[in-house]
Amino acid sequence: MPIIKNLEDLKRVREEAHENRKRETAAGQIELIVGLSTCGIAAGARDILKAILEDIQNNNRVRIVVRQTGCIGLCEKEPIVQVVVGDQPKVTYGKVTPEIARRILADHVAGGKVLQNHVINL
Amino acid sequence: MRTIRSMVLVSNDLISMQRGAQDVYDRLQAEIKAYGLDQEISLAMVSDVGRHDALPLVIVYPEAVVYGPLKVEDVHGLVEEHLYKGRIVVNLQASNRELSGKIAWLNTRKGTLPAEQRIVLRRAGIIDPTNIEDYILNDGYATLGKALTYMTPAQVIDEVKKSGLRGRGGAGFPTGTKWGFVAKEKSPKKYVICNADESEPGTYKDRLILEGDPHSIIEALAIAAFAVGADEGYIYIRGEYKLAQERLKLAILQAEEMGFLGQNIFGTAFNFDLRIHCGAGAYICGEETALLESIEGKRGQPRTRPPFPTTHGLFGKPTLVNNVETLANVPPILLNGATWYRSFGTLSSPGTKVFTILGNVNTTRLIEVPMGITLREVIGIYAHGMKNGANFKLAQTGGSSGSIIPASLQDTPMDFDSFAKAGVALGSGALLICNEDTCVVDLAKVLLNFFRTESCGKCFPCRIGTQRACEMLEAIADGRATLKTLDQLMDLSTTLVNLSNCGLGQTAGTPLKDILTYFRAEVEAHIRLGVCPAGVCNTTEAVQ
Ligand SMILES: Cc1cc2nc3c(=O)[nH]c(=O)nc-3n(C[C@H](O)[C@H](O)[C@H](O)COP(=O)(O)O)c2cc1C
Ligand code: SF4
C-alpha cells in the first residue's frame, strides 16, 4: 500500500480499489463472507471457514473469494455466511454447519439455487 | 415460543384519551384477535409520543409507520390491510412534517438492517476488519484527512459539541465539552486514551466494534488527538479480548505503513503515535483514573478527584479518556455534520446507542438503535418477545453498574435525561431482561457480590459497605432479617452513593435503592411471611 500524503492520494487509492472490485464483480466473481467475531467463532465459524476452503480446494472451484467480517448483530444466528454472486443482492445464511456450507457451495454457488431453508431474512 | 413479528403502539396521553384512544385500542384488540393474529402481534399503550397534531396516534413496527389521527372506524381497514395483508394504508398515515423528539427517527431507519439505525456499527459485518483497503473503500480515513486539511482543532471540537454527542462509557458526559477542557490546557505534552476495558458483565459492544471495525477507532483517536493537541495515544484494552487485540495490532501496523499514524500525517505538521495497553482482568481498571494508574505501571486504584484527568492525567499530563463507542461516533459526525447526527435520537441525547440484549428473551443479540427507544420496543421487536411467553418483570441495565428497571418504566425513553428524570441509569449498554422467576433479593445479591469482589479497597464506604450489604442481603434471602435490616440497607445505599471515592462504590448502592423502591413488597415477603415469592431463595435456612 502506498503512503498517503494528502486527500488526493487517499481518493486515488479508493478509486483504484473501487475499480478493482467493480472489475471482479463484472467478471462474475463470487464472494463468500464468513462472520468471524467472537460470537461467530464461539458458534463454530472457524470450522465453517475450514469446510469452505477445503471444499473449494477439493472441487477445484474457481473465481471464489472467501473473506471474513465482524458481527452483523445477529449473534444468535451465528455462524453466518453471506454470499454475493456478481452484482446480485447479498444472500445471508444463518446457523450454518459444515454440511450446509458445502451445500451452499454446491447448490448456490455452483448451481445458482439459493438454499431457502437456511436463509435469514434481514 | 411466541415470536412477535409486529408491534402496534397506541398513544394514550391526555389529548389522545380525550379523542378516543381507548376505543381505538379496544377495537384494535378485537380486530387483531378476529384475524387470528394475537399470537404474533403485540399491542400496547405508550403514553406521549411527542406529536400533538395527529392524535390519537398508532405506530406499527417494524415498518415504523405512523398512522393518525385515527378513528375507530379506520381500525378494521388498518388491521386487514396492514397487519393481515402487509400493505401500508397510505391514506391513514400521519403527515411527515413535525415529527419531533422521540419519534423523529422512525422515518430515517426504514429499510436498514432489522429496522435498526447503524452509525457506529455501519461497517461491522460488511467489511473485512483485517483489510485496510476495505476500510478505505467505505469512507475510511477520509474524515481524518478532511479534519487535518480543512479544519482547525477548534472547529472539530465545535462540531462535536454541536452534535450533542455524550459519552457512552456510562456517565453520559458531553464529549465536546470534555475535549474542550483538554484542548484549553497549555501543555507541550498531552495524551488521548481509548477506554476499551469493558468489564461490565454482559456488555460486549466495544468488543464487537473493535473486532468488526478496528480502523474506525484508530481514525477517531487521531482526530481526537488533533483536536485536543496530543501526539500520543493509548488503547487500554481488556486482557481477555485476544481477537480484538490482534486485529487492533494489525490495523495499527497497516495505518502506520500508509502514513495515517506517525509523522506528518496527510502531509501536515500533525504527528500521532498509538500504542495498545492490555489490562489484566480487574474491573476497576475501567474507571478512568485507575486506568491511568494501570498504564503508569502502578496498582490499579482510582485517584482522588479533583484534579481531573483533563488537567492532570497520564503521567500528570492533560489526558482525554473516551469510551470505544463514543469515539466510533466521531468520524461519522465530522463526515456528515452535527445536524445530520441530531436527526437521530432525542433532543438531549442525540445519536444511537449500542445495546447487548441478554436474559429471558427469545433472541439475545447486539443492536444499534436510536436513543430514546423504549424497553418495550427492545423486547418486543429486537429480542422477539419474552421466552415462553413469560411476563417481563425487570431489566438490569449496564451490566452491573446500571439500575434495576421495573416493568412500570418500560415505556420510558432510553436516553440519559429521561432515565435520570425517572431516577434510573442507562449504564454502559447491557440489557439483562428478567421474567417473573427472578427474585430481586437474589439479583441484588449477585450484583453486590460482584461489587464486593471488584472493590479496590481504597476507601472504606465501599470496601466495608459492599461486604455488609452482601451479608444483609444474605440474611434477607435466608429469612433471618428483620424489617430493621431494610432501613439499614437503605441507609447503607445512601452511604455508598454519597461517600464512595469512585463510581464503583457509588453504583453499588443503586441496586439496593432500586429493589427497596420498586420491589419493597417482594423484599418484605422474605421477612414478614418467610417466603420468596419467586421461589428462588431458601428462606427456611435460618430455622434449621
Ligand atoms: C468501576 C468503573 C468501571 C468502568 N469501566 C469502564 C469501561 O470498562 N469502559 C469504559 O469505557 N468506561 C468505563 N468506566 C467509565 C470511565 O470511568 C469513564 O467515565 C469513561 O471511560 C469516559 O468515557 P466517555 O466520556 O466516552 O463515556 C467505568 C467507571 C467505573 C466507575
Ligand atoms: S469506591 Fe470502591 S473501588 Fe472506588 S476507590 Fe473506593 S474502594 Fe476503590
Q: B205-212 and B242-257 helices cross at what angle (nearest 10)?
A: 40
Q: Which CATH code fits B352-435?
A: 3.10.20.600
pLDDT at position B2, please?
56
Interface residue B514 vs chain A (CB under 8 A):
no
pLDDT at position B488, please?
96
Residue B170 φ/ψ, nearest 5 degrees: 140, -40
Q: Which amino acid is at B27?
A: R
Chain-chain contact of B212 with A71 (C-beta, under 8 angstroms): yes
On whether the CB atoms of residues B168 and B121 are closer than 8 A, the answer is no
Instruction: Compute CA B69 distance to the chain's CA centroid, rounded to the nearest angstrom.
Output: 33
**Which residue segment(s) compose the domain that A112 sits in?**
29-118
On whether the CB atoms of residues B99 and A59 are closer than 8 A, the answer is no
Instruction: Compute CA B87 distance to the chain's CA centroid, rounded to the nearest angstrom.
Output: 34
On whether the CB atoms of residues B417 and B427 are closer than 8 A, the answer is no
- Per CB-CB distance under 8 Å, the chain B contacts of A3 are 257-259
Instruction: Answer whether residue A45 is part of any domain.
Output: yes
Question: Best residue in A9, A11, A31, A38 to probe B by mutation, most B CBs within 10 Å?
Answer: A38
Strand residues in B336-427 grouped as ranges (E): 352-359, 365-370, 392-397, 404-406
Cell numbers 465501599: residue: B462
Domain B132-339's class?
alpha beta
**Calpha distance B439→B460 (Å, rounded):** 29
Give the number of the atom of ligand 2 that is nearest the alpha carbon of residue B456. Answer: 8
Instruction: Answer whether residue A114 is part of any domain.
Output: yes
Cis peptide leading into residue A79 (ω within 30°): yes
Interface residue B119 vs chain A (CB under 8 A):
no
- Per CB-CB distance under 8 Å, the chain B contacts of A21 are 137
CA distance A81 to chain B (A): 10
Label each residue of A21-55 as H, E or C.
HHHHHHCCCEEEEEECCHHHHHCCHHHHHHHHHHH
Interface residue B110 vs chain A (CB under 8 A):
no
- Cα separation of the two ends of chain B: 41
The CB of B199 under 6 Å from ligand 1? The reply is: yes
Instruction: Answer whether residue A112 is part of any domain.
Output: yes
Interface residue A67 vs chain B (CB under 8 A):
yes
- Per CB-CB distance under 8 Å, the chain A contacts of B114 are 73-74, 122
- Which of the ligands is closest to the CA of residue B224? 1
Using CB atoms within 10 Å of the CB of residue B90, give its burial: 0 to 12 exposed, 13 to 18 middle, 19+ buried.
exposed
**Calpha distance B82→A9 (Å, rounded):** 51
- Per CB-CB distance under 8 Å, the chain A contacts of B123 are 70
- CATH code for the domain in which residue A66 is found: 3.40.30.10
**Calpha distance B12→A30 (Å, rounded):** 52
Chain-chain contact of A6 with B267 (C-beta, under 8 angstroms): yes
**Calpha distance B496→B493 (Å, rounded):** 5
pLDDT at position B287, please?
95
Q: Which of residues 266-305 of B touch A (CB under 8 A)?
A: 266-267
List of residues 6+ apart from B91 with CB closer than 8 A: none
When pLDDT is cut at 50, 70 and 90, the band that residue A122 belongs to is low
pLDDT at position B99, please?
41
DSSP 3-state of B14: helix
C-alpha cell at A117: 431453508
Instruction: Answer whether residue A22 is part of any domain.
Output: no
pLDDT at position B100, please?
41
Chain-chain contact of B124 with A70 (C-beta, under 8 angstroms): yes
Average pLDDT over residues A5-27: 90
For ligand 1, atom 29, the nearest C-alpha belongs to B287
- ipTM exceeds 0.90: no
CA distance B102 to chain A (A): 23
Give the number of residues written for chain A. Answer: 122
Nearest Cα residue in chain B from A42: B243
On whether the CB atoms of residues B134 and B141 are closer than 8 A, the answer is no
More confident residue, B317 or A60: B317
Q: Rounded to whole angstroms, what are the CA distances from B324 to A72, B197, B198, B209, B235?
A: 18, 9, 9, 8, 9
Instruction: Answer whether residue A83 is part of any domain.
Output: yes
- Per CB-CB distance under 8 Å, the chain A contacts of B261 are none
CA distance B535 to chain A (A): 29
Q: What is the DSSP letter of A63?
A: S
For ligand 2, atom 1, the nearest C-alpha belongs to B505
Give pLDDT tens digits along chain B (544 positions). 456 677 788 887 788 888 899 999 999 999 999 998 888 888 877 766 666 777 888 888 777 788 888 899 999 999 998 888 888 888 888 876 544 434 434 444 444 444 567 888 888 888 999 999 999 999 999 999 999 999 999 999 999 999 999 999 888 899 999 999 999 999 999 999 999 999 888 889 999 999 999 999 999 999 999 999 999 999 999 999 999 999 999 999 999 999 999 999 999 999 999 999 999 989 999 999 999 999 999 999 999 989 999 999 999 999 999 999 999 999 999 999 999 999 888 888 899 999 999 999 988 888 888 888 888 888 887 887 888 878 899 999 887 888 999 988 887 888 888 888 888 888 888 999 999 999 999 999 999 999 999 999 999 999 999 999 999 999 999 999 999 999 999 999 999 999 999 999 999 999 999 999 999 999 999 999 999 999 999 877 654 4
Domain B6-108's class?
alpha beta
Domain B440-542 coded CATH 1.20.1440.230? yes
Residue B161 φ/ψ, nearest 5 degrees: -60, -45
Counted domains in chain A: 1
Nearest Cα residue in chain A from B150: A7
Alpha helices in A1-122 (DSSP H): 7-26, 38-42, 45-58, 98-103
Give the number of the atom of ligand 1 that is nearest the alpha carbon of residue B503. Answer: 31
Question: Best residue in A13, A76, A93, A120 to probe B by mutation, most B CBs within 10 Å?
Answer: A76
pTM over 0.95: no
Give the gyration radius of chain A's Cα atoms: 16
Average pLDDT over residues A65-77: 86
Nearest Cα residue in chain B from A73: B366
pLDDT at position B107, please?
43
Q: Where in chain B is the domain with CATH 3.40.50.11540?
A: 132-339
**Calpha distance B497→B513 (Å, rounded):** 10
- Per CB-CB distance under 8 Å, the chain A contacts of B212 are 37, 69-71
Chain-chain contact of B145 with A21 (C-beta, under 8 angstroms): no
Residue A48 φ/ψ, nearest 5 degrees: -65, -45
CA distance B234 to chain A (A): 23
Question: Long-range contacts of range A24-29, CB-CB < 8 Å, 24 or more positions apart?
Answer: A24/A65, A25/A86, A25/A87, A26/A86, A26/A87, A27/A63, A28/A63, A28/A85, A28/A86, A29/A63, A29/A64, A29/A65, A29/A86
The CB of B308 under 6 Å from ligand 1? The reply is: no
pLDDT at position B247, please?
95
**Calpha distance B544→B354 (Å, rounded):** 48
pLDDT at position B383, please?
84
For ligand 2, atom 8, the nearest C-alpha belongs to B456
Q: What is the DSSP letter of B317?
A: S
Chain-chain contact of A35 with B260 (C-beta, under 8 angstroms): no
pLDDT at position B502, please?
94
**Count of A-B CB contacts under 8 Å:** 108
- Per CB-CB distance under 8 Å, the chain B contacts of A74 are 114, 365
